[in-house]
A = this chain, B = another copy of it.
Amino acid sequence: MSQLIRIKTALISVSDKTGVSELAQVLNDFDCKIISTGGTRKKIEEANIPVVEISKVTGNPEAFGGRMKTISFNIESALLFDREKDKEEAESLNIEPIDLVICNLYPFQKVLEQGADFETLIENVDIGGPTMIRAAAKNFKYVAVITEPSDYENLIKELKENEGCLSYETRKKLMAKAFNHTADYDALIATTMDKENEIHSYRVAYEAGYPLRYGENSHQKATFYKQKNQENTLFDIEILHGKALSYNNILDVNAAIESVKENTKTACSVIKHSNPCGLCEGDNQAKVLEQAWAGDPISAFGSIIAFNTKLEKETVEFFQLNNSDKSQRKFIEVVIAPDYSEEALAYLQYHKNLRILRFNPKHLNAKTELRPLNGALLIQDTDQVLYEKMEVVTSINAAIENEKNIIEFGLKALKNIKSNSIAIVRKKDGYHQLLGMGAGQPNRLIATKLAIEKSRTNLQNEFEGEEEAFESYYKQEMNNAFLLSDAFFPFADNVELAAQYGITKIVQPGGSIRDKSVIEVCNDLGITMVFTGTRHFKH
């Protein structure tokens, strides 16, 4: 089925001249006639390669300031006629076949990005180029079409391998690529022209898709794609080891990366069902992992864990993957880090199924996020404002002016936990740790309760003294901790509950009509309350 076609005549008309002389040389070596336009022709002639001026073929002059160069009965016929059925008709009309089109389009995107005016934009809408490209693609049975200099290398390679011929498979692939090229081109023109008409439209294209084993559940089929022309996407994660990622892995990997991407110190997040149930930042990576894990040591089993710094062996030894006592091994599903020391990577591979991913969280910096909903779409800016202010609103003030870092850590945690969310964070031995969190609750009071209960359990786990001494340890730790709320408290009930369990420092956006009474309750209960002015709902 290779159906080789000899490239006897090529039409070259490019706005990006990269590599065009070299390509023309190869074509010339195979005795291919080259037809070309204006600047392209000059460039090829400079390399001493014979070129036929396109007007010789079209029979028409270049006209109207270059708006008419290639479009003609002769050129499009030469591309479109069926080499079998239409052979005689073509001969009688003196149409000689063109077998290859090398064309790229007026740089609409480039001039748009340069902020060109409307008239320049319009002038950069290519008409002749898409016509040639689409005509050649339609007739791919006999014609090959190239739209990007990056494809020259493969083209040259195949021409050399096949002594100046191209295969059906290649022409078919190039055909699909060509229609993608014109689809992308008109997509950008369409949304730009809508904008000029004050119409909001949005187009997006995805490529390189591959089917996953299944979706969120085994009865759901799923496919994973990469957005076209986007760098640093979640799709670009390198899989160094382990089984293929599942649909739910991908969701959690995204949440894990999001949860450590803003931290400036070494940070580690532990994700279960898209929520960080453990999070820590500090200097020593091993200690950071240990304290992140301690945020929910039960849920951490089977979790997805991300780091924002190169992973070292002494850190990952925490997982005890080669412990002869299997019950001591801490199995996780996925680990993500910007890089791995050779020893760390080797150690992690003790766990045969562990997905080991390389990706730098800092590279995930999308400015907008899309939320398709049953044939509708929400697009919003990503949540990039941590806080507007840090204002103590109570008469009580536990000198938290010096605690900006731990509050910032808490806000970064909070914005990655599903709403309603409450986070309790603490500073301990120089580390910032998520001590407990409540996620995804219809009722904020229950989120608060969950965060408090989890904190208590975790403090019990870490406490090593006599049982009687625990309550005072507990109280001391809760006193020092900060409780943060993703949205304002509609009533004082959350504050009262938190106070009962020893919380003395609360951070919330403020903005409720009952702020005043909430502040009064804080003052009565000895609580310092900070308003940030910035809500962090996440759903």
Q: Which residues of A line the B interface, CB within 8 A? A: 58-61, 63-65, 67-68, 71-73, 76-77, 80-82, 85-86, 89-90, 93, 122, 125, 127, 130-131, 134-135, 137-138, 140, 172-173, 175-176, 179-180, 182-183, 186-187, 189-190, 193-194, 196-197, 199-212, 215-227, 230-235, 247-248, 250-251, 254, 257-258, 272-275, 277, 296, 298-299, 303, 364, 366, 369-385, 388, 418-420, 439-443, 445-446, 450, 534-539
- Given A273-B419, A299-B442: 10 more A-B contacts, CB < 8 Å: A63-B73, A127-B135, A176-B199, A202-B225, A217-B534, A220-B381, A224-B377, A225-B376, A251-B373, A277-B443
Least CB separation from A454: chain B residue: B446
* A227, B383: Cα distance in complex, Å: 24
Copies of this chain present: 2
Q: Is the interface of A mostly helix, strand, loop or mixed?
A: mixed
Q: How far is the CB of A229 from chain B (nearest CB, A)?
A: 10
Residue from the set A90, A194, A273 with the largest chain B CB neighbour count within 10 Å = A273
Question: Smallest Cβ distance from A77 to chain B, in angstroms?
Answer: 5
CB distance from A446 to the nearest CB of B (A): 7
- With contacts A68-B76, A440-B440, A442-B272 taken as known, whether A175 is within 8 angstroms of B202 at the C-beta atoms is no
Residues of B within 8 A of A373 (CB): 234, 250-251, 254
What residue in chain B is nearest A81 (Cβ atoms)? B64
Q: Which residue of B lies closest to A450 (CB)?
A: B446
A140 to chain B, nearest CB (A): 8
Most buried by B among A77, A375, A446: A375
Residues of chain B within 8 A (CB-CB) of A366 are: 374-375
A261 to chain B, nearest CB (A): 10
Closest B residue, CB atoms, query A443: B299
From B215, B376, B439, A224 is in contact (CB under 8 Å) with B376
Are B274 and A539 within 8 A (Cβ)? Answer: yes
Contact partners of A375 in chain B: CB under 8 A: 226-227, 230-235, 366
A248 to B, closest residue via Cβ = B537
Is A134 a contact partner of B138 (Cβ separation < 8 A)? no
Min CB gap A260→B, angstroms:
14
B58 touches A77 (CB 8 A): no
CB distance from A58 to the nearest CB of B (A): 7
Q: CA–CA, A472 to B374, complex, Å? A: 45
Nearest-CB residue, chain B, relative to A445: B298
B200 touches A175 (CB 8 A): no
Q: Measured between C-beta atoms, what is the minimum distance from A28 to chain B in Å? A: 28
Q: Which residues of B contact A258 (CB under 8 A)?
A: 374
CB neighbours (8 Å) of A140 from chain B are: 122
A179: chain B residues at CB < 8 Å are 125, 186, 189-190, 193
A-B contact pairs, 18 of them (CB 8 A): A63-B73, A68-B81, A71-B72, A73-B73, A127-B138, A179-B186, A201-B225, A202-B206, A215-B380, A217-B534, A217-B536, A219-B388, A247-B380, A248-B537, A251-B539, A369-B372, A440-B441, A446-B450
Whole-angstrom CA separation of A506 from B330 in the bound complex:
30
Which residue on chain B has the smallest CB distance to residue A59? B73
- For the complex, what is the distance from the CA of A232 to the CA of B217, rounded to whole Å? 25
> Given that A127-B135, A215-B380 are contacting pairs, would A275 and B176 also be in contact in the complex, using a CB cutoff of 8 Å?
no
A248 contacts B67, CB within 8 Å?
Answer: no
CB neighbours (8 Å) of A216 from chain B are: 380, 383, 537-539
Check if B206 sits within 8 Å of A201, measured CB to CB.
yes
Cβ–Cβ < 8 Å partners of A203 in chain B: 183, 187, 203-206
Q: 4 shortest A-B CB distances, which residue pairs?
A: A440-B440, A233-B375, A200-B209, A215-B380
Chain B residues positioned under 8 Å from A230 (CB to CB): 375
A471–B230 CA distance with the chains assembled, in angstroms: 60
* Minimal beta-carbon separation of A137 from chain B (angstroms): 8
* Closest chain B residue to A278, Cβ basis: B442
Are A205 and B202 closer than 8 Å at their CB atoms? yes
Smallest CB–CB gap between A108 and chain B, Å? 11
Q: Which of B60, B194, B200 contacts A180 (CB 8 A)?
A: B194
> Assuming A183-B189, A216-B539, is B127 touching A442 (CB within 8 A)?
no
Q: Within the complex, which residue of B205, B226, B371 is in contact with A376, where a contact is CB–CB below 8 Å?
A: B226
From A226, A440, A443, A537, name the one whose CB has the most chain B CB atoms within 10 angstroms.
A440
